[in-house]
Amino acid sequence: MATVVLSFAPPGFYAVDFPLEFRVDGVVVHAGSFRAGAHVAVDLGAGDHVLVATVRSPVPRSRTFSFAVGEEPLHLELSYDRWWGNFKKSLVIRAADHDDLLRALEQPGVPESVGELPAQPMTATFTLLAVLAVGLLLEYALPVVPRTGFAPNILTLQALGALGKEAFRDGDYFRLLTATFLHADPVHLALNGVALGMAGVFLERKIGARWFVILYGISGLFGSFGSVLANKGNVLSVGASGAILGVVTAGMVLAELDPPAIRTGIRLQLARVLVPSLLPLAMHGDAPVDLGAHLGGALGGALSGGALYLFLRGPARSQARDTANDGHTAWKDALTAPLVTALAAATVLLNAGALSRIPSRAYAPMRAEVALAATLIPNEDLPKDSGPHNDLFRAWASRFPDDPRVLLWQAEQARDSQDREAFDRAIGAGYAASARTESYFGADQKRKFDEEFKSLEGDRVFFDLLPNEQNPIGPDSVAVWNSHLDEWLKRYPKDPRVHKQAALRAYNAKEFERALSEIAAAEAAVPGVASAFPKGVDLGVLSAVKYFSLLKLKRDAETAPLRAVVCAGSHGDYAKKLLVDAGDCPERASR
């Protein structure tokens, strides 16, 4: 039998306390405070033994050591690795001296650290971690477009509440809160989750769930405002990094509530929390890092942490003086006061209200926009040059029949082929498509579409005109006109050129009344088709035909004034020449 001293020096760098337990061969030989350290003596028989040292933190840390005992007293010295968060694997074994044995035999109680604050449960931290996990699951369960890689599509993030400057300007203020519940991918969530868990260990166990929720909410809001101010309009922001960074910053400020001897250690431990939170700065890949959210969150945490320090400083000092009060009344009251509860509840309700806006204000509109985009020609498929691209549009007409650009092309094709029904159908559908796609193309593009359709409507006059390719010219033109004139009069009753030819035919057939009727119809049709004939329609010869028709009908009262006008050259040289050749223009007027 020999005495074995187990010692563990107090780790001054830890912010909160956890139970410390030593087991030798399965038997508990010490249960005490991790922050207070341990120095105990155990009597063990000669032979091999097993020591299990455990820190019962939210994530328990344990290390197993094997050692042999002989006849002489031993001193087993344990140490803790702050960076790896566990006991070091090496166990220092040496012979126990008189001082070691004396100190162990005195068995002092766990020393009190002046001003030590009672630990609070980590309800808020675990709840937030669960909510963030649910947020990521929803990103994969409710995509608005299929994923092309491992991460959710950016449109899905936008539909579920991601923050962007343009959306903020459009009045989607709820995104200031909802963006903090989303993450770009599982790695992003894992890093922030680790940081949030570590921050909760240090801070929530000190200040309680209510104040932790308040600090987290304020920091997240400051981070979102920083993102809006710092980012360009086309950048979307997601993630809890700003809120977490704010909580850590607040924790560094609140370290002033702890005894001076451990403040530096606490802040060093909190600095470790920043490692997973800031890793995205070095791992962002092609995605921009939201520095505005990080800096805004840190500022919010510093301000709110400073205000909370001023609020809690009095109760902390009171608790430090009154160690007889085992209930820590002053400190407990400060953490659970009605005002604190109301602020925490308001924070939760405000975030819940923001999340409730997502289905109607973000998700449904984005789904509708994605569905709309599926009916439109992809921008990347549009040709870069200004060629006709008729083959492309023919293919697109069956795939994207409601695209305003396809309908414009169809209207032009119908106009050129004189298909009035297809033209009217394309114009009507085009106006409807322009209005339907305004949310996708924007108000300016809608206005351009409407102007183009209106311009095409002006071409409706061409349906009332004989196509240029059918207009007879050349030596056989008279024969062609005469063979088709009756048909064209019925088909193109608003074309002055057709009435002109009908008037000439009637005059040659000595049908003078019919000739006058056709001349009147030709003159009446000109204003309605003026847009189709920028240089005007040449009806000058009809003035001479009208004159001779009136002359044959002996309508002298109408003949004289018309003769004066024609002979003055007002109706063209050819009409005047006809009257001069007939000897109906005075000699002076004919020169």
Contact 53, 63 (CB under 8 A): yes
Query: How large is the greatest C-alpha to C-alpha distance in the chain, in angstroms?
Result: 156
Helix axes 420-436, 443-458, angle to 10 degrees: 170
Q: Which amino acid is at 4?
A: V
Least Cα distance to 406 among 426, 425, 380 occurs for 426
Q: Would residue 110 be called left, alpha or beta, if left means φ above 0 and alpha means ψ between -120 and 50 degrees? A: beta
* Two tokens, residue 369: 């926009």
- Distance between CA atoms of 156 and 139, rounded to whole angstroms? 7
Sign of the CA dihedral with 149 first, then 154, 155, and 160 last: positive
Select which of 237, 241, 434, 549 is catalytic: 241
Q: Are 28 and 53 in contact (CB under 8 A)?
A: no
Helix (H) or strand (E) holding 69: strand 61-69
**Closest C-alpha to 113, from 318, 269, 258, 251:** 258
DSSP 180: G
- Strands 2-8 and 74-78 come out as parallel
Q: Where are the alpha helices (DSSP H) in 496-555?
A: 496-508, 512-525, 540-552
DSSP string, 310-323: HHHHHHHHHHHH-T
CA angle 93, 95, 98 (to 5 degrees): 130
Torsion on CA atoms 329, 330, 334, 336, rounded to nearest 10: 10
* Dist. CA 135–CA 180, nearest whole Å: 10
Cβ-contact 441, 415 below 8 angstroms: no
Considering the candidates 183, 294, 499, 571, report the single residue annotated as catalytic. 294
DSSP helix/strand/coil, 53: strand
Cα–Cα distance list, 345 to 341, 350, 351, 353 (Å):
6, 8, 10, 12
Among 492, 501, 369, CA closest to 436: 369
Residues constituting the chain: 591
Determine how β-strand 163-164 pairs with β-strand 236-237.
Answer: antiparallel
Active-site annotation holds for 98: no
Cα 470 from chain centroid (whole Å): 56
Exposure of 439 in the CB half-sphere (CA atoms within 13 A) = 11
Is 389 among the catalytic positions?
no
The two structure tokens encoding residue 194? 């680790």
- Indicate left, alpha or beta for 224 from its phi (over 0: left) and psi (-120 to 50: alpha): alpha
| Angstrom distance (rounded) from CA 392 to CA 394 | 5
Phi, psi of 81 (to 5 degrees): -95, 105
Of the chain, the end-to-end C-alpha distance in Å amounts to: 151
Q: Which residues are catalytic?
A: 241, 294
